[in-house]
Structures are given as C-alpha cells and as structure tokens.
Structure 1
Amino acid sequence: MATTVEGEFATKDGTKLYTKTWKPENSTAQAVLIFLHGFSDHINAYYDLFPTLSSLPFNIAVYGFDQRGWGRSCKKPADHGHTGPTSLVISDIHDFTLHVANQPEAQGKPLFLMGHSMGGGEALAYLLSTSSDYSDRPTLSGLLLEAPYIELHATAQPSYMKVQAGKLASMLLPNMQLKQKLDAAYMSRSKKVCQDWIDDPLCHDTGTLEGLKGLLERAGHLSLLSHDRTVPGFTTKLPCPVWFSFGTGDRVLSYIAAQQLYNVIDAPNKDKTFKAYPDAYHKLHAEPDGGGEQYAKDVGGWILTHAKAKAEVAQVGQSESSQKAASGS
C-alpha cells in the first residue's frame, strides 16, 4: 500500500505547480523516483504504475508534478499548453529535481529520473545539456525512459512546409493556442485506456505555438544526436546509467529513432539497456493482459538493482575510508 500526498511547489519565477507524491506506507523508501509526464497528459493518469512502485516489494517513493500548461497546474482553459520556451520547460524540471532532492525523506536515498513520451525527451534534454545553468543537478543513480520523444512515428511526421510555417507563426503569435490531437487509438491496446484518454478533460490536446516549437526543437536536437551529429550545447554522455523502453507497435513515436539514439549514448561503465516490448503501444504502463503490471515490475526491478549497486559502492568507500583512518592513527 502507498500513501499519497498532493501539494504545490513554486518554480524559480514563483509559478505554483501541482504535485503528487506516492510514498511507501509504514516503511522507509528504498529509492526516490522523479517522474515527468507526456504531452497532453498529467501525473494522475498513469494508472497503477506509481502505486505499484511505492508498495512492496519495491517501496520506491515517487514524486511527480503536472508541468506548466498541463493537468491540474492549469487554473483555467487559457493556461492550456502555456509551457513557455524550452529554457523555461527545462528550468521547471531542474527546480523540481532540486526540490525533491532537498526533501528530508530523500536524503541519503538513491535518486532516479524517469520520463514518458514528451517527458522522456525532456529528461534527455535536461541531462544531456552542457549548460552551466544545470551544473548543480543532484547526483542521479539512473535515468529511465518510457517511449521517449526523439522523432514522431513515420506516419505522423508533419511536412517540412508545415514545420517552417509553424516556426514563423510562433515568432509572430507565440501564445496562440492550437489543438494538436494525438490518436487515442494508439495510446494502448486497451480500449478502455483509449477511451479514458478521450474522456479525460485534463488531456486537452492544446499547445501554444511557442510551446509546440520548443517541443519540436528538443526532438530535433535529439534526432541529430541520434545520427551522430554535433549539437551545440549538448553532449551524448549521460551522467548516470540509462534504461530505454519502447513498444514495437508504437505508432505515436519512432521506435527506430529511440534505438538510434540509444546506440550513440554513453553511460558510466557502459551501463545502458534497451528494453523492447513486442507489439506494445505508446502507454507501456497501461497495456492490457498483464502488460502494464509487467512493465511496473521491470521499472521497479531496474531501479532497485541500481539502488543496491550504489549502496554497495558507498559501503565499500566507507570501509576504505575507515581502514585509511585506522592505519593513519
């Protein structure tokens, strides 16, 4: 069982964003996970993923927030999709990461970051950025990516002219709202999950021209990196181990592009994994016939394995320090 706590946190510019935390009940967390949701999604729409992770046998504390422009962080329809430019999107993520790392229950616990879809692309942009603005990022024990946005699926790619027209319009009318519908039929092989997406008023499918431009630019940078191209301000070296997960049946985003980026990404000690889910759709955590349950177990297992590895390294370091101190006395 898990205990849930709702609240708010203030970003650097004073904007208050909705937060929700899933904590192990009557036990100490073995690790802490920060989660970034996808486009037109929100932190309360991830079904049993977080309750499973925060319960036995995993006991992982999960911290999530509805990003600026999404979910319960919108106070009125006029707020829908108002994410701001990429610099603000990543700044909010940095602020929340620092906020979680400074929580008393997170002290001394292995810290992980996970993103789904748009959130996966954001997590990569955050950790691959060489900007000094994020030089005080907390130490992470791992990055987990669920169907990260590197490229749209081949059948969903916009034309070159449409992209260029959008970029021009975003300079003239950055705050103009625009519906950008994702096909609900490809969210999950579960018809109920697809219908939930349609019926959920918080999945509003609305972006601003500025926000959509930033979304495309972030994906464009990651796509260039996946083709071994140099992108100013970015590296291909992650500061922590990474776990990619993608459904081979995903028709929202490109499985091939994710594989290509995985191939060029460097992680400490080459600790990187690509987990393919045969025929699975976009919401791996909400696939039917036990798929979602297995996905949660895979996520929890990877986190605990790396949490244990970090604890063992720390224990060895403490032992070596004690031996040095004893020999020097």
Structure 2
Amino acid sequence: MKALICRKPGELIFEDRPAPGRPGAGWALVSISHVGICGTDYHIFEGKHPYLAYPRIMGHELSGTVTAVGEGVAIARGERVVVNPYFACGKCIACRRDKPNCCVSIEVLGVHRDGGMCEELLVPAGNLYPAAGLSFVDAAAVEFLAIGAHAVRRSKLAAGVRTLVIGAGPIGLGTALFARIAGQAVTIMDMSRERLDFAEGQLGFPVIDGATVSPVDPVRERTDGDCFDLVFDATGSKASIEAAFAYVAHGGALVMVSVVKGEISFSDPEFHKREMMVIGSRNALRVDFDHVMAAMHHGAIPVAKLITHHTTLQNSPHDISRWAHQKSGLIKAVIAF
C-alpha cells in the first residue's frame, strides 16, 4: 500500500508498505478516505514534537470504510466510520475508571505508532464509531472537534455562564462552538486579527484582541469588572496560560485544553482568593465523539467553514510543507485519498 512517511524533520516521502493483512480477533481493517491535518502533524514535520521517533506515518484525524473484520467484531463490512486514534491499555487506573483518554500507557495513532496517512489501517474495533449520514470529510473533522466537546464537558459549569476561549485555532474554535451549544455566552480571544475576524465574521462570536497592551482591561469591561466564569486556554502557549489566571472570576474555573512542555507558574494568593478551579482536559471519550456527530447531524457545526484547505494524497507532501509555514487563511486542512 502507499503511505506518506515523515522520514525525518522536513522530509516527507511516499513509500510502498506491506498491506496490513487480515484483522485478528477484535480488530478491523479500515480503508482510509480522509485525514485531517493537525497542529501535531505540523510539529512532527518541523521536528518540534518532543516524544516522537522517526520515521513516522502521521495522521490521527481519520475517516474511512471497514473492509474486513476479525472474530467477535460487531461492526459490519462496508460501514462508514470515524476512528478514535487513542489506544488505551484497558488495565491501568485511568482505564479502570472509564477514562481511557488519559490512560497511563496511551498510544496515539500518528504519534506513538504509525497513523492514517496510508491506504489501509488496522484498528481495534472498539475504536471505530459508525458515521452513517456524515460525509467522509465531515467524519474526518470529528476527532479534533471532540477535543473541544470534551473540554466543555469537563468544565461542569451550567448554561448561562460567561465564557472566554483563548486561542482561535481549530481546537479553540471547536471548544467555543461546543460551549455555545451548551448555552454559554462565549467570547474568543486571540492575538491574530485574521483569526479574530474569522471567529467574529464567520462564526458570530464576540472577540477580544489579545495583542492589546493589557488584555485584562477589555476582559473586565466585557464582564462588568467580574472577569469570566469559565476560561479555556487552547493556545499551547506558556505565557498565555499563565496570563489566563487573571481572566477568571471569583469562584470560576480555568480549563487547560492545550498542553505545553515545562512548568506553569501562577500567583497563589490570586488563585486562592478566587477559590478557582484549574482543570486539565486531555483527548476525548466515546461520549464526546457521539456528541460531535449528533451536533453535525443537527447542523449545529459549520464544518464547511472550518475546513478551509483541501489536498490529495499525491499533493500532500508539497502542501503540508507549505502550510507548516504559510498559515494565512488556514483553519483546518484535509487530505482526500
């Protein structure tokens, strides 16, 4: 089969790899249709991922068709599916508590093991979710949107709260959309005027320019001096996360959707006097994937606006290398097989 390999930072090549073969018990073979390109993929290409061994087949935002199944698999051949790319051990403390998204030994397709930028992929049947009624393009967007849906569910705050989402990239926009679906009054902050214009003009969110000298001033102005009940940081920026503590109202919560390498520091008196919560959010669960697909079926997610760039498998080496550096107008790109 044909596969796109990141052989080393900055080098993408096609290789003919052996076909995966027949699936064993509990596994299924998926013919890949579409792959969303994630920020993680760009980091792998640029050599910025801290825990990756090259060469690697990238790709974890996947849709496809089941072409063969092993013994004990209920999903049918010919079924259109979304792939959950998080492989959990099923035995650790997190898995025993029904939290496989933060499994102690988690392996993510395209990161810890070869992913879906190839023609066929063997996947545990439990990681395949039926996507009947969705286009293959929309199905490839489910995983990144599930990250935001999971973060909103983790916050556990009621409808009607005032919410700030920092970061207007794909994950931040997905978080904002599902916060709005949950009935929250959502504002988006970013330092990019282009992304703010997209969030405001295309998606209808009020925005705050994070590039201002003191973003805390417009934060207070928008909230009658109270700050936001709920703040999500989806920037992947240490400075942004540390600044976000000051945007949280007394009794509020900060949800860290993004992750940074290193340590985060904050003023304990400021944290303490707010009695605020700090919540980590990692990956997503089946319930989040199902929530995203239901929202898509109801027309609540403008997928066509979010997927701004398209390419083919043949053109993907050139386009990925270009989009890694040319971000203007780019929200989400998808490879069609």
Whose strand fraction is larger, Structure 1's or Structure 2's? Answer: 2
TM-score in terms of structure 2 length? 0.28
**Which structure's residues are more often helix, by fraction?**
1
After TM superposition, the score normalised by the length of structure 1 is 0.29
